[in-house]
Structures are given as C-alpha cells and as structure tokens.
Amino acid sequence: MASLSRHFTRHVAVTLAVMTFSLAVAVFCFCRGRLLAGTALAVLWAGMMVRLWHLIRLPVRQTSAFVGAMEGRDTTMRFPASDDPVLGQVMDDMNRVLRAYCADRFAMESQRQYYDRILRVMTHELRNSIAPIVSLTDWVHDNAVSEEDLRDSLGIIHQQAEDIHGFLNHYQNLTHLPEPQWTDFPVRTLFDGLRLTLSGEPSANRIQFSIAAGDPVVHADEKLIRLVLLNIIRNALHAIEGQEDGHVSLLASGSPADGVRIVVSNNGPLIPPAQMELIFQPFYSTKEEGTGIGLALSRRIMELHGGTLTCDSNPPLTLFTLAFPQG
C-alpha cells in the first residue's frame, strides 16, 4: 500500500494502458476466431479492472479517513508524505487543513478556558462586593437609623460601588483589546523607547538592555508589545525592591525566520511553583495594591500575535520569555 501511495499516478496510468491494449487485442482475436487468446486477454482486462478498482479506493479511503478525523475532532491525525504528483498534493492539502483545524480548535479551547476563568473570578468579586451593599440596605430598611449611621452606610455603599466600577474597567481592558496594528520594527528601536519611558523610574539604572546578535526585527504591534514589556519590567523592579544587588535584564535574540525571543530576567525572590500559572490568571496578584491584570493582559496580547509568554523561576533568576512566531 505504501508503494501504491508513493506512485499512485504511475500505477493508474500503467493499469489503464494495459486495460486499453488488452481490450483492443481481445476484440481483434475474437473477430479473427482466436477464442483462446481472446479469452486470455479478456481475463487480463478483468484483472486490470479489479486492480483499477483497488487503486481508486486508495484516495477514497484517505478521503473517508480525513472526513472521519474532522467529524471525530481528531487533531492528531496526519497523512504520510507521498512522491506522487497528484496524491502527494492532495495529502499535503489535507494535512494543511488538519493543522489549521487543530490550531483553530486549540485557540477556541484556550479562549473558552480564558473566559471561563474570568467569569468565575468576576462572579466571585461581584458577589463579595455586592453582599455588603445588600446587608446595609436591609439594615437601613429594617431599622430606624440616625443621620450619622445613614451617612456612614452610604459611604460604605459608595466605596463598594467604586470597587465594582474599577473591577469592571479592568475586566473591559482584558476582554476588549484592540486588533494589532502590524508593522515591522527593530528590537533596538523598541528597547530605546522602553529606556526613555522608564528613565523616570526610581530604579531605572538597574535595567540592562542587550541584543544577542545583529538587530532582530519583530512583526507585531509595537505599542502593544511595549505595554507587555512595561508590565513585566515593572513587576521585576517591584521584585528587586530593597535588594542591593537587584537587577533586571532584557535580552533579545533570534530572527524573523527563526522566531524572535525577548527574555526579561531579574534576580529577586523566586516565584513558588504553586503560583507559576496563577500569576497569569486574571485578577490574581501577589501585591497588596495590585490589580492582577498586568500579566494576564500581557499573555493575552502575545496570544493575539500568535506568540507565547512563559515564566521560569529557578535559582538564581526569574525569566519571562516573549516568543514570537516564525516569519
């Protein structure tokens, strides 16, 4: 079967040629009264017909397997490469469709899980914020309260409403990101902009920018990528706060053909393994005044660009890696 797959067109052409020749000669023999030779050629023709039927069933079976994979949502199936000019192209096309389907399925599942997490957090936060409002309004309704108590109650209700308003604003930032404005820009230009933006930070002198070789060019939305790096750098500066030897480093490497990588490292306290994935969840923060949207927003931006944002925290450094897709 592997041989048939690799040389499908040649086998079909040879089979059709033999069928045509044997049929023509068989008819000639029967017309001349050579029944034995004609019968033998007719049997040969019938055998070639059976062979042609089996050959035709090969792409039919492959098409059925392709349809079955799509219907069964099988994202692992792949068809082997073939040297055949016709069948090889068909199998390449089917593999390309399967890869695109797999990527779409993965993206949809990731998006579903992302919004499920946001919905759970949103429900939890809103319930906690609304509960005091309900309790206070019930208490004011059921009791004769003084003007001072009423003022205090309204102050608490106002604060809770402000908290809900701020939470919903953060939620909107996570779920209504603009479409990337794609441009090609050098990493050096990106780093120069970051250096200027961060020049007013108290610990700006602790940030080091470096490029492994050349000047990689990134195909992305420069403003959104700058936002990602600002979020990560400021988190890193917070991590080394009060640490005399604390430093933050940015290292860019790669090329558009191989994929560009930007690694932000710091030598502050390591992130415990249990928190490694939690830090990317919306509204999760280890800082007392943190909003918990910086890293979640950053990962979402990288996903919009077809890239990834990952974290690795092992002695002596914590690394955040932005990996851009190959050009």
Amino acid at 73: R
- Which residues have CB under 8 Å from 132's CB, separation 6+? 156, 157, 160
232 and 203 co-located in one domain: yes
As a whole number, mean pLDDT of residues 115-119 equals 71
pLDDT of residue 125 exceeding 70: no
- Quick one: pLDDT at residue 75? 64
126 and 229 co-located in one domain: no
- Quick one: pLDDT at residue 123? 76
Pairwise pLDDT comparison (36 vs 112), residue with the higher score: 36
Does residue 52 form part of some domain? Answer: yes
What are the pLDDT digits (tens) for 269-315? 998 888 877 788 766 666 555 556 778 888 888 988 889 999 999 88
Final residue of a domain: which of 72, 97, 120?
A: 72
Number of domains in the chain: 3
CATH number of the domain that residue 271 is part of: 3.30.565.10
191 and 308 co-located in one domain: yes
Mean of per-residue pLDDT scores for the chain: 81
219 and 316 co-located in one domain: yes
275 and 210 co-located in one domain: yes
Does residue 78 form part of some domain? Answer: no
163 and 265 co-located in one domain: no
pLDDT of residue 106 exceeding 80: no
- Quick one: pLDDT at residue 290? 52
199 and 162 co-located in one domain: no
Pairwise pLDDT comparison (250 vs 145), residue with the higher score: 250
As a whole number, mean pLDDT of residues 252-280 equals 86
What are the pLDDT digits (tens) for 171-203? 666 666 778 889 999 999 999 999 988 888 888
Distance CA 139, CA 128 (A): 17
What range defines the domain where residue 154 resides?
112-175
- Which residues have CB under 8 Å from 91's CB, separation 6+? 62, 79, 80, 81, 82
Question: How many CB atoms sit inside 10 A of residue 272's CB?
Answer: 10
- pLDDT-derived band at 167, boundaries 50, 70, 90: low
310 and 188 co-located in one domain: yes
Distance of CA 173 to the CA centre of its chain: 20
- pLDDT-derived band at 42, boundaries 50, 70, 90: confident
Final residue of a domain: which of 127, 156, 175?
A: 175
Distance CA 275, CA 64 (A): 46
- Quick one: pLDDT at residue 1? 46
pLDDT of residue 48 exceeding 90: no
Does residue 151 form part of some domain? Answer: yes
- Quick one: pLDDT at residue 171? 64
Does residue 233 form part of some domain? Answer: yes
- Quick one: pLDDT at residue 191? 94
Burial degree of 295 (CB within 10 A; 0-12, 13-18, 19+):
buried
Burial degree of 113 (CB within 10 A; 0-12, 13-18, 19+):
exposed
- Which residues have CB under 8 Å from 93's CB, separation 6+? none
As a whole number, mean pLDDT of residues 3-24 equals 78
130 and 237 co-located in one domain: no
Does residue 225 form part of some domain? Answer: yes
Does residue 95 form part of some domain? Answer: no
Does residue 309 form part of some domain? Answer: yes
Question: How many CB atoms sit inside 10 A of residue 222's CB?
Answer: 18
Final residue of a domain: which of 129, 145, 175?
A: 175
For the ranges 18-22, 69-73, 178-182, 202-206, the lowest mean pLDDT is seen at 69-73
Torsion on CA atoms 234, 240, 241, 245, rounded to nearest 10: -130
Q: Are strands 248-255 and 207-211 parallel, antiparallel or unpaired?
A: parallel
Q: Are 292 and 217 in contact (CB under 8 A)?
A: no
